[in-house]
Structure 1
Amino acid sequence: MNRSAEVEAFYVSWKWRRCRKAYAESVGKICEECLKEGVIETGSKENPLETHHKIELTDENINDPNITLNWDNLELLCKKHHDMKRKKKEKRWKIGPDGHVTV
């Protein structure tokens, strides 16, 4: 994933670290998607829990705390579910230098 320096800096900030920790504790440190499936996943070394932004952070919204730090824009996911959500957002095609679409 290509992130700008400003977005990368946010993800190592004390504000984000404090927010993601408090959010994880508020949902019981359980993957929210696994819980919907009736499974309790508390994370492990192989499948860690990650706090996911539903609305992806960009240069345009990085300074908006309603996007970056708002719990309504967060969900706690295991690595499996987090990777699945990220893959859905990735383009499955691109336009090459010759103007043709490639998969």
Structure 2
Amino acid sequence: MKAWAKAFYLSAAWEQTRAAYLMSQDYICERCGEPAKVVHHKQYITKENIGDAGVTLCWDNLEALCQDCHNKEHHRKERQRRYRFDEDGGILPPISKKN
């Protein structure tokens, strides 16, 4: 959790919204159908919009996700993991980053 967002994520308003939203989705991930434990903000929370309840607490901006789907969402833009493997399990060289 980012330091600037800590107060929001520990607030009663967020805790109540999060709990109610997960319950409304029957604690099921909206992407894969596995058990959900994360309430994700579709429009990411930023320093600029954290005070806007239309972004932070609006159910239209929320999505119930399992931890795996939440991780995929936040790491989808990563170009390269530390290791890559071919179809036989052999280690592949890193992909060079394009500038």
TM-score (norm 2): 0.73
Shift of 1:4: 4.1
For 1:58 and 1:42, how far apart are their aligned partners in 2? Answer: 27
Query: Secondary structure of 1:72's partner?
Result: helix
The equivalent residue for 2:10 is: 12
Matched, 1:85 2:73: yes
Structure 1 stretches of 4+ with a deviation exceeding 6 A read none
Aligned match of 1:22? 20
Q: Distance in 1 between matches of 2:61 and 2:67?
A: 18
Per-residue CA shift, 1:8-53, capped at 9, x if unaligned?
A: 2101111100000000011111111113xxxxx225xxxxx21100
Partner residue, 1:51: 39
Give the aligned partner of residue 30 of structure 2.
32
SS of the equivalent of 1:75 reads strand
Decide which structure has the larger Cα Rg and report it: 2
CA distance, structure 1, for counterparts of residue 60 and residue 77 of structure 2: 19
2:31 is paired with a residue whose SS is helix
CA deviations over 1:62-100 (Å, ceiling 9, x no partner):
01001000001100100000000010255x49xxxxxxx
Q: TM-score, normalised by structure 1?
A: 0.70
Number of matched pairs: 82
Q: Structure 1 residues 87, 20: closer, same or farther in 2, change over 3 A? A: same
Choose between structure 1 and 2 for higher RCO, CA contacts under 8 A separated by at least 6 residues: 1
Structure 2 runs not aligned, ≥5 long: 81-95
